[in-house]
Amino acid sequence: MIHTIRVILACCALALCGPSAAAGKAANPAQYVTESMTVSGAVEHALTLRVADLRQFPPQQLGEVPLVCQTGAKVGQLENFKGVLLRDILEKAVVVSHDHNDVKKMLIIATASDGYKVVFSWSEIFNSPVGDGVLVFFEKDGQPLADDEGRIAMVSSKDLRTGPRHVKWLQGIEVRKIVE
Ligand SMILES: Nc1nc2c(c(=O)[nH]1)N[C@H]1C(S)=C(S)[C@@H](COP(=O)(O)O)O[C@H]1N2
Ligand SMILES: [Mo]
């Protein structure tokens, strides 16, 4: 009985996270492509930004960023891409802060259209060198991003392993204060 349950659970895990799910995304990435991203949650100005809107922020250009999975495997490389700092976007949205210590409790959650999510903290973005390397990007070699990344993606280029916070098909950024 327990063995049967284990087998069922293992199959579910494989279906959700295993090669078949990854292969599905690789085979049909067009369904995940995002044309705009939102900024929501604990901000004074909620934003919806299309690529044309992102171009209004100060441009950032990066050369080569190796993409390394959390396992340590090299999975690719980002080259010659253009974007803007997540910090500049959040400055426009204005993180809500009533108390001197509010910002220290803020999470910044990036969500992709396939349900992938990664978190940053306010301190990482606004008060550490990591923030200098967190880019929302939309152009590679002067061209819009291909379907395998969406039109809008994100990377935290100063991470030790850059794969996990390379968010393909970026859909939104939510600012949320932790519950005390
Ligand atoms: N939207 C989205 N972005 C994602 C992922 C994902 O599942 N969905 N996986 C991440 C991880 S853990 C890695 S290592 C790289 C893998 O990129 P690849 O699927 O092109 O090899 O993408 C990252 N970005
Ligand atoms: Mo990964």
**Residue 22 pLDDT:** 74
Give the mean model confidence (pLDDT) for residues 83-87.
98
Who has greater pLDDT, 108 or 8? 108
Q: Which residues contact 112 (CB under 8 A, 6 or more apart)?
A: 32, 34, 150, 167, 168, 169, 170, 171
Find the 74 Cα to ligand 2 centroid distance in Å. 9
What's residue 179's pLDDT? 87
Residue list, CB under 5 A from ion ligand 2: 69-70, 163
Q: What percent of the chain has pLDDT over 90?
A: 83
pLDDT classification of 3: cutoffs 50, 70, 90: very low
pLDDT of residue 40 exceeding 70:
yes
Kindly indicate the confidence band of residue 26, based on its pLDDT and cuts at 50, 70 and 90.
confident
- pLDDT computed for residue 54 by the predictor: 98
Q: What is the mean pLDDT of the chain?
A: 91
Most ligand 1 atoms within 8 A of CB, residue of 137, 168, 170, 171 to mutate: 168
158 in the Ramachandran plot: left (φ > 0), alpha (ψ -120 to 50) or beta? alpha
What type of residue sits at position 17?
Answer: C
pLDDT(120) > 50: yes
Residue 166 CB–ligand 1 contact under 6 Å: yes
Reported as a pLDDT band with limits 50, 70 and 90, residue 88 is very high
Checking if the pLDDT of 155 tops 60, the result is yes
Q: What is the mean pLDDT of residues 6-21?
A: 45
What confidence score (pLDDT) does residue 9 get? 41
Amino acid 24: pLDDT: 77
Give mean pLDDT, residues 70-84. 97
At 20 the pLDDT is 60
- The atom number, within ligand 1, closest to the CA of 32 reads 1
